[in-house]
Amino acid sequence: MNILVLCTGNSARSILLESELTAASNGRITAFSAGSNPSGKVHPQSIVLLNGLGRDVSKARSKSWDEFEDVDAPIMDAVITVCGSAAAEECPYWPGAPVRTHWGVEDPAAAIEDNWQDAFDTAYDILSRRAAALIALPFETLDAATLKSELDRIGTLP
């Protein structure tokens, strides 16, 4: 299953969920991340957190969702947006046929630097629980409507 994780800046939440889905799914999911208005760099605390988990961050980069519109881009089975509701944050919309869902998480990058670790740990914990719930599903055998319902339910998990 190919999943595109979208956020506005593609520097924190989308990067964290991309890493978690890919690492924890044992090859069942290939995750990608992108932003509608990418910051151009991965947030330094995202790198710290992922390094602490033993994840390879050598290829992590903030990128535009335009890369996934090319004819040779992977076909997505699902698109997950992870933008939160703080400060009227605008979440990108992905057109087309993939199953779409929203897993809103407040932006840890909006925290002051002294609070980065706590903010990023909190965001990661939420995203990790949701990723685990998705990975526990027999998603390979679910029809699109059932998958959408399950993804929406998972997006409400704290």
- Domain containing 70 — which CATH number? 3.40.50.2300
Q: What is the DSSP string of 85-144?
A: SGGGPPPP---SSSEEEE-----GGGS-GGGHHHHHHHHHHHHHHHHHHHHHS-GGG--H
**Does residue 93 register a pLDDT over 80?**
no
| pLDDT on residue 91 | 60
| pLDDT on residue 144 | 92
Please, which residues bridge with residue 78 across strands? 3, 99
First-to-final CA distance of the chain: 24
| pLDDT on residue 52 | 95
pTM (predicted TM-score): 0.91
Q: What CA–CA distance (Å, rounded) separates 57 from 43? A: 12
Q: 3-state DSSP call for residue 3? A: strand
| pLDDT on residue 86 | 46
Question: Which of 11-20, 84-93, 131-140 is least confident?
Answer: 84-93
**Does residue 26 register a pLDDT over 90?**
yes
pLDDT tens-place string over residues 118-155? 999 999 999 999 999 999 999 999 999 999 999 999 99
The domain tally of the chain equals 1
Q: Report CA-CA distances (Å) from 147 to 5, 42, 84, 96.
A: 16, 30, 22, 16
| pLDDT on residue 89 | 52
pLDDT tens-place string over residues 38-74? 899 999 999 999 999 999 998 899 999 888 888 888 8
**Does residue 108 register a pLDDT over 60?**
yes
Q: What CA–CA distance (Å, rounded) separates 71 from 146? A: 28
Name the residue range of residue 66's domain: 2-154
Residues 90-101, mean pLDDT to the nearest whole number: 72
| pLDDT on residue 69 | 81
SS3 content of the chain, % helix, strand, coil (to 5): 45, 15, 45
Q: What CA–CA distance (Å, rounded) separates 18 from 156? A: 18
**Does residue 33 register a pLDDT over 60?**
yes
